[in-house]
């Protein structure tokens, strides 16, 4: 029987994947102006990592509600609250073709909900992306024309995905 990662390892490997992928992505977008989008704030850990490593970059956060560490709360003018199935389609009026990096972390332990959320993100995201934008995702996405990129070296999670928009 293949080794099944423990609960400790599943979270460790997920954070490791986020950390290495984000750090790689920061270099990729260095010379490309444009906003960064975070889909799913959660506790605010990846948001905190992005804002510290992307000073001066506008980071817009989408989530249903705020449930983060108080010191990780995004400024109100860059917070888009509501269901992604509604806020993402609306966001094309504001971000059409502009976003250079998207970090999508909207998965749960509910497989049916994950499939639904992957569909919502896959449908709503392409219109917002700048050419060559990087998309990091905890769910597999179907982004028309996008290239699926290999994970950075050392990443042990099989549940993490990187795409580059056309």
Q: Which stretch binds its own copies (CB under 8 A): 10-18, 27-35, 112-120, 136-144?
A: 10-18
Q: Does 57 bind its own copies (CB under 8 A)?
A: no
Q: Is 94 in the site for its own copies (CB under 8 A)?
A: no
**CA–CA gap between residue 95 and residue 10 (Å, rounded):** 33
By CB under 8 A, tell whether 81 contacts its own copies: no
Q: Between 3 and 93, whose beta carbon lies closer to its own copies?
A: 3
- The residues near 157 (Cβ < 8 Å, ≥ 6 apart) are 13, 14, 16, 17, 151
Q: Which residues of 123-160 are buried (b: 16+ CB within 10 A; e: fewer)?
A: ebbbebbbeebbbbbbbebebeebeebebbeebebeeb
**Among positions 2, 6, 27, 111, the unique one binding its own copies when judged by CB under 8 A:** 6
Output phi, psi for 54, to 5 deg.
-125, 60
Among 2, 8, 76, 112, binds its own copies (CB under 8 A): 8
CA distances for 3 relative to 6, 9, 36, 158, angstroms: 9, 11, 37, 13
Q: Which is nearer to its own copies, 67 or 86 (CB)?
A: 67
Least distance between its own copies and beta carbon 15 (Å): 4
Residue 28 in contact with its own copies, rule: CB under 8 A: no
Interacting residue with its own copies among 1, 31, 52, 144 (CB under 8 A):
52
Residue 106 near residue 138 (C-beta atoms within 8 A): yes
Task: List residues near its own copies by CB under 8 A.
Answer: 4, 6-9, 11-12, 15-16, 18-19, 22, 43-46, 48-49, 52-53, 69, 72
């Amino acid at each position: 029987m293949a080794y099944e990662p423990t609960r400790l390892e599943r979270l460790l490997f997920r954070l490791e994947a986020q950390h290495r992928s984000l750090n790689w992505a920061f270099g990729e977008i260095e010379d490309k102006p444009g906003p960064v989008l975070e889909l799913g704030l959660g506790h605010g850990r990846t948001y905190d990592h992005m804002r510290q490593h992307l000073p001066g970059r506008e980071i817009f956060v989408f989530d249903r509600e705020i449930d983060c560490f108080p010191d990780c709360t995004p400024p109100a003018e860059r917070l888009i609250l509501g269901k992604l199935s509604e806020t993402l389609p609306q966001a094309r009026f504001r971000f059409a073709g502009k976003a250079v990096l998207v970090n999508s972390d909207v998965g749960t332990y509910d497989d049916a909900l994950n499939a639904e959320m992957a569909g919502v993100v896959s449908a709503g995201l392409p219109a917002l992306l700048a050419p060559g934008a990087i998309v990091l995702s905890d769910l597999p996405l179907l982004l028309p024309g996008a290239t699926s990129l290999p994970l950075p070296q050392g990443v042990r999670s099989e549940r993490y995905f990187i795409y580059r928009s056309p």
